[in-house]
């Protein structure tokens, strides 16, 4: 399962907790800010894909409970990497550029679609998306500094979400993996 920090995340988590008690048996890979929503529901993900712009305290809590971190380096977060990376255990570094000896490029652009690329790279044949809305709205999980729980995204974030959706669709079309979303009207994904 791959969780993003979109407006549907709490609804999807609560639906799973109510209707599919076995969902914890799935490997959970989450995009940065989704960590906070999962921790609020007493769920600790196995892997967090992050560029360290989520709630650092929640990321540290998850890491202290055994979560593996896939930390992404890009030009805008070098200070955060220097400041926090040594605070985490179980860290793997990623880039969107040429990989190095110990820095990997699994594909993707945003934390959410990079989590999907990672799942596919790790051999997932079925990926279920939760909280991956790819719309024009962001949550305070994704943008901790916004005033409301959900707000219209700025133009840059909207473009990032559009690009992320295109990349997830590319995986659907070009890789041997079935990707579906949590849909309250059709829960066949966890039965097959």
Domain, as residue range, for 154 = 2-190
What pLDDT is stored for residue 184 in this prediction?
A: 52
Answer whether 161's CB lies under 8 Å from 135's CB.
Answer: yes
pTM: 0.92
**Predicted local confidence at residue 192, as pLDDT:** 34
Q: Specify the number of domains making up the chain.
A: 1
Q: What is the pLDDT of residues 109-153, one digit of tens each?
A: 999 999 999 999 999 999 999 999 998 999 999 988 889 999 999
Across all residues in the chain, what is the average pLDDT?
Answer: 90
Q: How many CB atoms lie within 10 A of CB 134?
A: 21
The low-confidence residues of the chain, meaning pLDDT below 70, are 184-192
* pLDDT computed for residue 190 by the predictor: 41
Q: Where are the beta strands (DSSP E) in the chain?
A: 2-3, 29-31, 47-50, 68-72, 91-94, 103-104, 126-130, 137-139, 150-152, 178-181
């Amino acid at each position: 399962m791959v969780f993003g920090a979109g407006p549907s995340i709490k609804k999807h988590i609560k639906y799973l907790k109510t209707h599919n008690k076995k969902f914890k048996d799935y490997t959970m890979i989450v995009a940065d800010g989704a960590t906070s929503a999962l921790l609020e529901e007493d769920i600790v993900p196995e892997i967090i894909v992050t560029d360290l712009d989520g709630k650092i305290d929640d990321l540290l809590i998850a890491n202290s409970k055994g979560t593996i971190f896939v930390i992404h380096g890009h030009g805008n977060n070098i200070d955060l990497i220097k400041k926090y990376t040594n605070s985490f255990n179980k860290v793997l570094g990623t880039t969107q550029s040429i990989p190095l000896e110990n820095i990997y490029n699994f594909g993707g652009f945003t934390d959410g679609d990079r989590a999907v690329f990672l799942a596919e790279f790790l051999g997932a044949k079925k990926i279920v998306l939760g909280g991956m809305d790819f719309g024009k709205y962001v949550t305070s999980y994704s943008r901790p500094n916004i005033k409301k729980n959900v707000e219209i995204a700025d133009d840059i974030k909207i473009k990032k979400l559009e690009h992320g959706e295109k990349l997830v669709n590319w995986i659907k079309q070009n890789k041997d993996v079935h990707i579906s979303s949590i849909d309250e009207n059709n829960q066949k994904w966890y039965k097959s």
